[in-house]
Amino acid sequence: MTVWLMPMEPIEQRYSKQWLKYFELVFKENTINYNVISGESIQSNLSSKFFLDPVNTNIWKLTQLSNLLKNYNNIQNNDIVFFMDLWNPGLEVLPYTKALLNKNIRIMGYLHAGSYDSWDLTNQTGMTVWAKGLEESWLSCCEKIFVATQFHKDLVTQQRLVPKVSVKVVGFPLDINSLVSKYANCTKENFVVFTGRKSVEKGYQKVLKLKKQNNNIVITLDQERTKEQYYNLLGKAKVVLAPSEQETFGIGVVEGMACGCIPVVPDKLSFKETVPSKWRYDPIKENIQDYINKAMISTRDDRINIQKYVERFQYQTVINNICMEF
């Protein structure tokens, strides 16, 4: 068996480069044969609102599929085509080709988001009209669909016709150990960091209101930062804030926890799975600022316990969970 690995387009501000490195390391450790299929990449123009460039991502994905098809004669029965981003226009060419050429290709992938989520940009911009059918088509072609949390699985299976048994909750691969070793022991300073996009679903308007009464809130997207600068900021911050209206995992929060930040998040969404109840506020009854104040006077033991809580998202653990389904 060979895994034909379809990585996301490399973007510095995202985790796409990191993921390819993680998957390759784990595949090598498990002696899994694999081939990486890349696409054509152009300069991305990202903003605080968009987490990808809509033109570049489609050029990457469509040329990536083309490059995979050029290798079609080398793909054997029982081989796996694994999409690191399963929301992939053009994916339907694989079951089409598979059926006509009678080759048993197994399609799997990691699902990040889609129009099944009312807060997602695809839904907010009206794409659901045509995207719903495509999503159900793509997902029905997949033998296994991997998601980060049970909250995300429930969202997908309630909104789209997809067999629940094919959707597997595996976590989200991050290098928790490196974050802890490099940044968790930084000298903490009295400020709060907000890592989310400047959008309603990430609670940006709430952050702006808090910032008016609390000048020690740093919004990461207020200036351009390298990954190293971003992690150094998390290492110095005492608190990571995410007053989200929607969250299927919360990468910035988990990374912040690994870097020694105390999270302040609502007691809902995927946070019920990723953050201890002690640091989740009731979004109806409780005041966010009160929780920030409590988090600011947290102890070193609190931070250590938080770091241990997110160890399960270490990339070897998560990707091994995926490999068990191969």
At residue 62's C-alpha, the angle toward residues 60 and 68, to 5°, is 100
Contacts of 25 (CB under 8 A, 6+ apart): 315, 316
Do residues 249 and 155 both lie within one domain? no
How far apart are alpha carbons 199 and 257 in whole angstroms?
22
Q: Residue 7 is part of a domain; what is its CATH number?
A: 3.40.50.2000
As a residue count, the chain comes to 326
Q: What is the pLDDT of residue 51?
A: 62
End-to-end C-alpha distance for the chain, whole angstroms: 9
Do residues 204 and 229 both lie within one domain? yes
Q: Where are the alpha helices (DSSP H) in 16-78?
A: 16-29, 54-70
Do residues 318 and 269 both lie within one domain? no
Would you call 201 exposed, middle or buried from its count of C-beta atoms within 10 A (0-12, 13-18, 19+)? middle
- Amino acid making up residue 60: W
Residue 296, φ and ψ in degrees, nearest 5: -65, -25
Do residues 135 and 84 both lie within one domain? yes
How far apart are alpha carbons 116 and 130 in whole angstroms?
12
Do residues 151 and 15 both lie within one domain? yes
Do residues 225 and 263 both lie within one domain? yes
User: Which strand ranges, in their side-by-side order, compose the sheet holding 280-281?
Assistant: 217-219, 192-194, 239-241, 262-266, 280-281
The domain tally of the chain equals: 2
Residue by residue, pLDDT tens for the chain (326 residues) are 999 999 998 877 678 889 999 999 999 999 999 999 999 987 766 544 456 778 888 999 999 999 999 999 999 999 999 999 999 999 999 999 999 999 999 999 999 999 999 999 999 999 999 999 999 999 999 999 999 999 999 999 999 999 889 999 999 999 999 999 999 999 999 999 999 999 999 999 999 999 998 779 999 999 988 889 999 999 999 999 999 999 999 999 999 999 999 999 999 999 999 999 999 999 998 889 999 999 999 999 999 999 999 999 999 999 999 999 99
How far apart are alpha carbons 122 and 114 in whole angstroms?
6
Domain containing 186: what range? 176-309
224: which 2 tokens?
A: 């351009």
Do residues 29 and 150 both lie within one domain? yes
Do residues 146 and 182 both lie within one domain? no
Q: What is the pLDDT of residue 15?
A: 86
**Closest residue by Cα to residue 149 from 174, 168, 131:** 168
Do residues 226 and 296 both lie within one domain? yes
Asked whether the CA dihedral 230, 231, 237, 241 is positive or negative, the reply is positive
Do residues 70 and 189 both lie within one domain? no
Do residues 36 and 24 both lie within one domain? yes
Would you call 154 exposed, middle or buried from its count of C-beta atoms within 10 A (0-12, 13-18, 19+)? middle
Q: What is the pLDDT of residue 48?
A: 44
Do residues 53 and 162 both lie within one domain? yes
